[in-house]
Structure formats: structure tokens, C-alpha cells
Amino acid sequence: MTSETNGGVKMEIDRLSDQINVKWWNQEVERFPNKTVYHTYEWLEFIERSQGLRKIIYEIRIDGTVVCYLPGFAIRKGPLKIFASPFPGWTTPYMGPLLLESVPQRLFFDEFRRLMNKEGYHYAELCNRALNHELAKEEGFAVEEGVTYVAEIGANADEILANFKKSTRNATRKGLGNCDLVVETTTDSSFVDHFYTQLEQVFAKSRMKPTYPKERVKILIETMLPTDRLLLTWVKHKHEPIACQISLIYGQWMHAFASASARDYLRLRPNELLRFHTMRTASERGVRYYDMTGGGSYKANFGGKETPVHRIIYGTPGLHKARNFAKSVTRLKNRIKYAFHHHGK
């Protein structure tokens, strides 16, 4: 346990045992207004299993009262010790602290820096909608801006369709009227096979392979399906799945994990039908916001509005620049690979 006095405020920080109880942890998560599905016990377990890591949870108290939990994972990259909450490539867009609104964020950033220093971390990343990125900059943290698309979900089918662009709305209605198409949520164990086969087809168009293995999808479904937070949806054409979507639901929010479709059936516009059905199902469960996770201007067709997201980074400027350089090299290699295959030279 570490104790600090910050401006007269007594703060205590403990690292909790990794043997925390699932029921207790999920009840604690519910207390915080900035909670997401990515803070839940099952999602932390998903990362543990898919990345081969062990979760770390720090508990922060003020005058004996818990005001913050900070979940994350320690990564070793050579001599570097990294605290990730979350980290790129984990199909986990958000995490960071669970923080009561009464706690000044300047105080949190100060204590976060102290904690990283005391625990010997050389580098750390946080991505959390509730954190004030401008204040983080003032406190000396680096900030990277990304983008996602967020749509409001109407209370019924008509309101949902009203937010779609006209061409997307018409394609959805056409799909609804096609008696050869059936769209439904499912728990069928064959879902993962159909989804991943279609995902491989999507990437094959660019002469690439999926960015994550099939095993990760299996772990996701095994971990999350027993909860009420995973939504698997597919469109069938004459009983054969031709499009699949994986979504996450928690409170008033739905997050997209991934979607894919068979190339030979794109003329039937199954993706519009798929997304509409997912939004309608979520609406019936009280969801009002749909984070489509990541860029892609086509998401505006479904009412999505471009929304910035910010990654807050702790570490020396040299480490941050090195990470950005490595990312740039990777992007450049992917572009060269695509150009080489696409143009045949």
C-alpha cells in the first residue's frame, strides 16, 4: 500500500489481488458513471485469455473511501515495462480508470503519474471517454486523437430508420421485404465458423489476412455469451448465413466488435439489414447510443456522427516517438504490401 498527501488530501493506493470475485467486481463497476463493458470482469478475463496476460487492478481511496479503480495489464517489451489500459490490437477501444465524478481529474493525473513511477512502468496508455484530454496535456501527458462514429438509437424501428440516409433506409426496407432473407440473433455454435470465413473473404479483397485469429473470436464468445452483453446477429439467404455481426451491449451503450459478409451476396445488401436488426434489438433492451468503433465514413449512413477519441500516454518523449515511428513503419509496410498485390507489381 502507498499513501500520499496531495494538496492536503490523503490518498491511498492498493494493488488488489487478481483473485477478485466476479460478482463483487461487476457490482463495484456499476457504481461508476463512466463504466463500460470493457471494465467488466468477463472482458478482463477475455483479455487475459486472448493476450496471455494477467489483469492488474489498482484501488485508489481518499480518506478511506474508494473513489477510483484502475484496471489494466502489464506488458514486457524487452527491458520496458508497459501498463496498458487498453493497448492497440486488443479489439478493446476503451478502459482506463473507473472514476467518481467528485474526484478532480487533475488529482487523478497527478496520482497516476506517481503510481506509474513507483511501480516502475516506463510507458502507459489510457483510453477513456470520461478523461479530459486537454487537462491531460496540461499535466504533461502526450495525447493521440483518433476517431469513431456514434449514432443515437431511436426508441423504435421507425425512429431508427429515420436516422439512416435515404439510400441506406431504402436498402434496409428492401431487405426486410425479401422473403429469401432472414435476420436474427443467435447463439448457434457454428456462428464463429461462418463469421470468420466471411471475415477472411473481406480481408482477401485487399490480399491480406484478418488482423486477429479465429481463436480470439472463440474466446470472446465463450467468455461473453453466458452474460447478457454479447449480441450475435446473422443474415441468412435460404438458410445459409451470408453476413454476421458481433456487438456488445452494456447499459445505454452498444459497441461494435466486428462484422463480415460473403462477397457473392453483397448485391442483396445484407449489411444494412444486419445493422438495422442489431440496433432494433439493442433499442428494445434500453440502449440509446451505438459506438461503431473506429473510422469509416460509411458509418454516417446509419446515423453515425464522427466523434474524436483520445489516447492518453505516460512515458518519456523518446518512447512515445519510438512507438509512433514503429506504427508508421507498420502502416507503410501494409500500404506497400497492398499496392504490390493490388497492382501485380
Sequence spans of domains, the chain:
2-140, 149-307
Chain-centre distance for alpha carbon 2: 31
Does the structural domain 2-140 have CATH classification 3.40.630.30?
yes
Element containing residue 78 per DSSP (H, E): none
Distance of CA 103 to the CA centre of its chain: 25
What is the per-residue DSSP string for 247-295? EEEETTEEEEEEEEE-GGGGGG-HHHHHHHHHHHHHHHTT--EEE--S-
* Distance separating alpha carbons of residues 39 and 251, to the nearest angstrom: 12
Closest CA to 138 of 312, 279, 316: 312
302 three-class SS: helix
Copy the grid coordinates of residue 245. 455481426
What was the pLDDT predicted at 18? 75
- The pLDDT of residue 338: 37
Residue 310, Cα to own-chain centre: how many angstroms?
Answer: 13
Tell the CATH topology of 149-307. Answer: Aminopeptidase (3.40.630)
The CA distance from 326 to 329, in Å, is 5
Backbone angles phi, psi at 82, to 5 degrees: -120, 135
Q: What is the pTM of this model?
A: 0.90
Amino acid letter at 338? Y
Q: What is the pLDDT of residue 318?
A: 58
User: 289: how many CB neighbours lie within 10 A of its CB?
Assistant: 14
List 241's β-bridge partners, or say none: 236
CA dihedral sign of residues 336, 337, 342, 343 = positive
Using left for φ > 0, alpha for ψ between -120 and 50, and beta otherwise, residue 287 falls in beta
Using DSSP, how many helices (H) and how many strands (E) does the chain show? 10, 14
Element (H, E) at 218: helix 214-224
User: Regarding beta strands 142-152 and 98-99, do their DSSP bridges make them parallel or antiparallel, or are they unpaired?
Assistant: unpaired
Three cell numbers written together for 268: 442483396
Contact 25, 41 (CB under 8 A): yes
- Predicted confidence at residue 323, as pLDDT, reads 55
Decide if 345 contacts 216 (C-beta within 8 A).
no
In order along its 345 residues, the chain shows pLDDT tens digits of: 555 556 667 789 999 987 799 999 999 999 999 999 999 999 999 999 999 999 999 999 998 899 999 999 999 988 899 999 999 999 999 999 999 999 999 999 999 999 999 999 999 999 999 999 999 999 999 999 999 999 999 999 999 999 999 999 999 999 999 999 999 999 999 999 999 999 999 999 888 999 999 999 999 999 999 999 999 999 999 999 999 999 999 999 999 999 999 999 999 999 999 999 999 999 999 999 999 999 999 999 999 999 999 999 999 655 555 455 445 434 433 443 333 333 333
- What is d(CA 274, CA 328) in angstroms, rounded to the nearest whole number? 34
- Residues 6+ away with beta carbon under 8 Å from 175: 181, 183, 235, 268, 269, 270, 272, 273, 276
Kindly state the helix (H) or strand (E) to which residue 91 belongs, with its residue range: none
